[in-house]
Amino acid sequence: MNGEPKVLIVGAGSTGLVMAHELARDGIACRVVDKSPHRAMESRAIAIHARTVETLELMGLAEDFLGAGHRINGVSIYGESGRIAHAGFGALNTRYPFVLGVPQDETERILEEHLTSTRRPGRVQYRTDRGGAAR
């Protein structure tokens, strides 16, 4: 990538950061802006499903997420009379037969670090609304 960014991405959440990461992998310079003062400090999502981990693997990110997350092998639902239901993930037909517990703020941290690394240079600017671009 060289020169000025060719793409402006408004929103430095998970979706915007994944888009920027993939554009950078294809050599397309981009700039990510977000009106927030900084990356999210709290989580609005807590889990990544097996198919998403497979996609992260294709993106070269799975190892970082696997290292940061907790493997959830199943869930149980309880009511007043005890356990009502249980769903195990071990039978899923995937290399990742579990749900990966990763808070959204950690997901965004990993994505932003990859985007701004020397391997995939990109820019994320906070406290910026549309970067002066017209609607």
Q: Convert the pLDDT of each residue in 37-62 to its tens digit.
A: 777 777 778 899 999 999 999 999 99
Residue ranges, comma separated, of all CATH 3.50.50.60 domains in the chain are: 1-39+105-135
Q: What are the tens digits of pLDDT across the range 2-39?
A: 567 788 999 999 999 999 999 988 888 888 999 987 77
CATH of domain 1-39+105-135: 3.50.50.60
Q: Is the pLDDT of residue 133 over 60?
A: no
The gap from C-alpha 81 to its chain's centroid, in whole angstroms, comes to 38
One-letter-per-residue 3-state SS of the chain = CCCCCCEEEECCCHHHHHHHHHHHHCCCCEEEEECCCCCCCCCCCCEECHHHHHHHHHCCCHHHHHHHCEEECEEEEEECCEEEEEEECCCCCCCCCCEEECCHHHHHHHHHHHHHCCCCCCEEEECCCHHHCCC
